[in-house]
Amino acid sequence: MPTHIAFIGAGRMASAMVDGLLTKGAAQPADLACIGSPADNTAQLLSRRTGIALHDTFPALVSSADTVVLACKPQQLAGLDACLAALTAGKLVLSILAGKRLAGLALKFPRARNLIRAMPNTPGQIGAGITGWCALHPPTEADRRIVASVLGSLGRTIEFAEPQLDAVTGLSGSGPAYVFEFAAALRDAGEAAGLPRAAAYQLAVETIIGAGRLMQHQAAVEPEELRNQVTSPNGTTFAGLKHMDASDFRGLIRDTVLAATARSIELSHEG
């Protein structure tokens, strides 16, 4: 791990990374520093809560850093101080900015030793995320360890070629929202079937968590096999699945992911 990691931005994902790094012992507060937007106090709150350094200028933040994490809002990238092009010379720059391609980042940080583009998801806030990432150049082993530590603070990681990052965004980046919507649908359906709303929601949440843990525990088993283990011939589950199939449930999910992927491609081109 590097001695210093500098965070540009101090919102939810930056805070999750800092918390993960500290909790896992991959870094100490003295190893980390942040800067935030003048429009809010997120950086001050993060520094006060975790003990990491707080800076109000980019030279002070980046000068002693080996790794710079871009965790601001994507629309703020264009307005970042031009001094960062020189300040990031020889440093690893890791971006979690949605829709910002490596080619565009290379224009902003032309002298960085390498650029990493990553797409985390919101469960990373509790260390249960999955992050897809790609690199401008093949990373050295030392830089791979840095990427593994920084992104691993949010959960699991998978390396991809950059063209696949849009599909990662459509599936896992946006995926938690689909699961939350599914939970809401199960809750509403349970209420329609006669259950109290609170009880229906508890059943929905625990069913999703339990099913997910079972899939994780039996990772070598295809989900269709796990589905079949629940399904008795002409039973209750069979009746529900038959209705899902008639409504082309898989087609709906496929089109949902493809729509999100297409929008990610559009945003990347805009960026």
Cα torsion angle, 168, 112, 149, 65, sign: negative
Average pLDDT value for residue range 232-245: 96
Closest CA to 257 of 180, 168, 184, 185: 168
Kindly state the percentage of the chain with pLDDT values over 90: 91
Amino acid (1-letter code) at residue 18 = V
Q: Could you tell me which residues are beta bridge partners of residue 35?
A: 8
What is the gyration radius of the CA atoms in the chain, in angstroms? 21
Contact by Cβ (8 Å): 5, 60: no
d(CA 93, CA 259): 30
pLDDT band at 3; cut points 50, 70, 90: low
pLDDT attached to residue 7 = 97
pLDDT attached to residue 271 = 55
pLDDT in tens, 48-96: 999 999 999 999 999 999 999 999 988 899 899 999 999 999 999 999 9
Does pTM top 0.85 for this prediction? yes
pLDDT attached to residue 89 = 97
pLDDT in tens, 182-226: 999 999 999 999 999 999 999 999 999 999 999 999 999 999 999
First-to-last C-alpha distance (Å) of the chain: 31
- Residue-range domains of the chain with CATH: 5-162 (3.40.50.720), 173-270 (1.10.3730.10)
pLDDT in tens, 33-43: 999 988 889 99
pLDDT in tens, 134-178: 999 999 999 999 999 999 999 999 999 999 999 999 999 999 999
Closest CA to 211 of 187, 248, 183: 183
